[in-house]
Amino acid sequence: SGRKEFQQAFEQEFLPALNQFKPEIIYISAGFDAHADDPLADMRLLDEDYAWMTAFIKKIANQHAKGRIISSLEGGYHLDALGDAACSHIEALL
């Protein structure tokens, strides 16, 4: 997979499921091993993809969960990519 396919699946599969479920709080298990520089998942996401995804989830949280989000760092195995993607995620949460 790649960035385009990931975003498409996120919008077409994840969004309808979240809107149907109408969560009261969203818990993000923030893993960054799908980053292009990470040796594990080979999904080729970039920092801006994590920011986009976080903004997307934040919109859903505002719509259904009164903005309530908990985010917990899960992992990532390329330390530079992990740091950069985590910063993008946190900035999008702010």
The pLDDT assigned to 2 comes to 80
Residue-wise pLDDT tens digits, 33-73: 999 999 988 889 999 999 999 999 999 999 999 999 999 99
CB 35 within 8 A of CB 82: yes
What is the value of pTM for the model shown?
0.91
Give the dihedral of Cα atoms 76, 45, 51, 32; nearest 10 deg.
-10
pLDDT at 42: 81
Label residue 61 left, alpha or beta by phi (over 0 means left) and psi (-120 to 50 means alpha). Answer: alpha
pLDDT at site 40: 86
What band does 22 get if pLDDT is binned at 50, 70 and 90? very high
Give the C-alpha separation, 55 to 90, whole Å: 10
Query: Measured between alpha carbons, how far is residue 14 from residues 39, 77, 78, 87 in Å?
Result: 25, 25, 26, 23
Distance between CA atoms of 52 and 3, rounded to whole angstroms? 11
